[in-house]
Amino acid sequence: MLTAKQHELLRFIQSRLESTGISPSFEEMKEALDLKSKSGVHRLISALEERGFIRRLPNRARALEVLKQPDSAVASGKPAAPANDTIVPLVKPAAQVAEPANDVIDVPLHGRIAAGAPIEAIEDHTSLPVPAALLGPGEHYALEVSGDSMIEAGIFDGDYALIKRTDTARDGEIVVALVNNEEATLKYLRRDSGRIRLDPANASYEPQIYSQDQVQVQGKLAGLLRRYH
């Protein structure tokens, strides 16, 4: 049987999904249940998930789906007996209940990348929530831009470059290029007489020219995120 708080949280999540199609945030759940901290919300979510009442949609922030409810939540005006733990599927009328809005995806954030002189290859791993509309199909990751060599392409210091993982690219595409297996940079890719030219988008910088075996394409630009302070 669900505890009172678990039942209250389940009803709150379902109500929010029905009205907006978007799962409530942990802060909203904390306030709705009058809890002191978000850790209490985490414990309730985990308990509901373990018992099969909800599931978290993978790689998406704020995306919960209600799978079922105790029969007390769907019976018409009849309170359930305290010992009754019967579970019935939750029926969601298609015309009334919106599917959870899968509008945010967590992508790996691999640190900072140079948009100037190359810097050491990125190694650290955290994540960044990204609107799904900015990403197409395929695997993506994010990098924080350092430097100003791509400002004429609208890429500024401190922006987050959203990168589609690939090892190939066409001439003229903006790519993440790994140089000599140790330095990564964000530049236009050009092939010139059997060599690789990495072009900046800033007249103050010179192109970087390498042999083909010195450069590995690790992805190409798919979008940008920018914070305004």
Measured CA distances, 75 to 78, 94, 132 (Å): 6, 20, 37
Q: Tell me the CB-side half-sphere exposure of residue 209, using CA atoms within 13 A.
A: 6
Q: Which of 149, 193, 204, 220 is catalytic?
A: 149
Cα–Cα distance measured from residue 15 to residue 7, given in angstroms and rounded to the nearest whole number: 12
- 38 catalytic? Reply is no
Q: Is 149 a catalytic residue?
A: yes
Reduce the DSSP state of residue 218 to 3 states and report it.
Answer: strand
Biggest distance spanned by C-alpha atoms of the chain: 80
Q: Whose structure tokens read 């599927």? A: 89
Residues 6+ apart with CB under 8 A from 94: none
Annotated catalytic residue within 187, 193, 204, 220: 187
Contact 169, 219 (CB under 8 A): no
The whole-angstrom distance between residue 167's C-alpha and the CA centroid of its chain comes to 22
Q: Report the residue count for the chain.
A: 229
- Do residues 7 and 73 make contact, with C-beta atoms less than 8 angstroms apart? yes
- Residues belonging to the active site: 149, 187
